[in-house]
Amino acid sequence: MHLLQPFNVLLLGTSLALASLSETCRCAENTCTVMACGNPGLNGLPGRDGKDGTKEENGDQGVQVRGQQGFPGKAGPSGSPGIQGPPGQKGQKGDITALDALQRQVTALERNVQALQADLSRHKKILLTQGAMIVGEKIFVSTGQQDTFPNGKALCANAGGALASPKNVNENTALKTIANRNSMYAFLSINDIQTEGRFVYLNGAPVSYTNWKPGEPNDMNNEDCVVLLVDGIWNDISCEHKSLIICEV
């Protein structure tokens, strides 16, 4: 027997004794024939650095990560106008009945106006055959009878007109034509009954046109009415003198 054997036996016995007392007994998986039991020891000191490893090949290429979206750019210039769109839907029908009624009324009025114009034209022709004179919008007509100023004034008013009031040379010439035809003096509407020397029309307005005979009006024996002489010039005369009555309408 070796000298160490008793020592080993002693260690074994001591270990067994300690194992029976220890709380921890470990054995690597069936690698130990003798179960090591006992309290863990303190960690040992760090070992020395290992040898350098072998140099590796270049690594794989990295993966590129997309950056964040930038801010929107400035608005671009306006584009050219687009193509005209298709026509819209047809609108609803209007008030056909009212429109038709108005149209019929207008048509009827137009026919009435045309009929009246035809009537007026015929009446003008008749008046012309009776010796009337048409000057612009004015028609001078006479019965060919002589009367006083008050009677003549009433006669014309009753006929819807008035005693003749020549306002210009054309109207005065038309009256001269009528007077010459009858070889008579003709009463005008002009008078100074209200105010001596102030000759006015029937509505009181002062005369705007005159064709006095030289020396007239002379108010001979208080003459307040006016006659148109055969040659177209005027003379003041008595309102009770009987002269040709010419009306204007």
- Contact footprint for ligand MAN (CB under 6 A): 216, 218, 220, 223, 235-237
**Nearest approach, Cβ of residue 231 and Ca ion (Å):** 15
**Nearest approach, Cβ of residue 159 and Ca ion (Å):** 28
Instruction: Rule CB under 5 A: choose which of 171, 192, 236, 248 binds Ca ion.
Output: 236
Instruction: Rule CB under 5 A: choose which of 14, 22, 114, 218 binds Ca ion.
Output: 218
Q: Could you tell me the two tokens for 137?
A: 């919008």
Amino acid at 207: V
User: Which residues neighbour 26 within 8 Å (Cβ) at sequence distance 6 or greater?
Assistant: 35, 36, 37
Question: Residue 220 interacts with Ca ion (CB under 5 A)?
Answer: yes
**Nearest approach, Cβ of residue 213 and ligand MAN (Å):** 8
Residue positions counted in the chain: 249
Q: Please say which residue, 139 or 186, places its beta carbon nearer to ligand MAN.
A: 186
Beta-bridge partner residues of 200: 191, 206
Q: Please say which residue, 223 or 248, places its beta carbon nearer to ligand MAN.
A: 223
230, 185 contact by CB (below 8 A): yes
131, 144 contact by CB (below 8 A): yes
Q: Please say which residue, 80 or 221, places its beta carbon nearer to ligand MAN.
A: 221
**Nearest approach, Cβ of residue 220 and Ca ion (Å):** 5
H helical segments located in 92-217: 96-129, 149-158, 169-182
168, 161 contact by CB (below 8 A): no
Chain position whose Cβ is nearest to Ca ion: 236
**Nearest approach, Cβ of residue 205 and ligand MAN (Å):** 24
Question: Cα-Cα-Cα-Cα dihedral of 159, 161, 165, 167, to 10°?
Answer: -150
CA 12 to chain centre: 123
Q: Please say which residue, 236 or 248, places its beta carbon nearer to Ca ion.
A: 236
Q: Please say which residue, 89 or 221, places its beta carbon nearer to Ca ion.
A: 221
Q: Please say which residue, 140 or 185, places its beta carbon nearer to ligand MAN.
A: 185
Tally of CB atoms within 10 A around 163? 25
**Nearest approach, Cβ of residue 242 and ligand MAN (Å):** 12
Residues that bind Ca ion (CB under 5 A): 218, 220, 223, 235-236
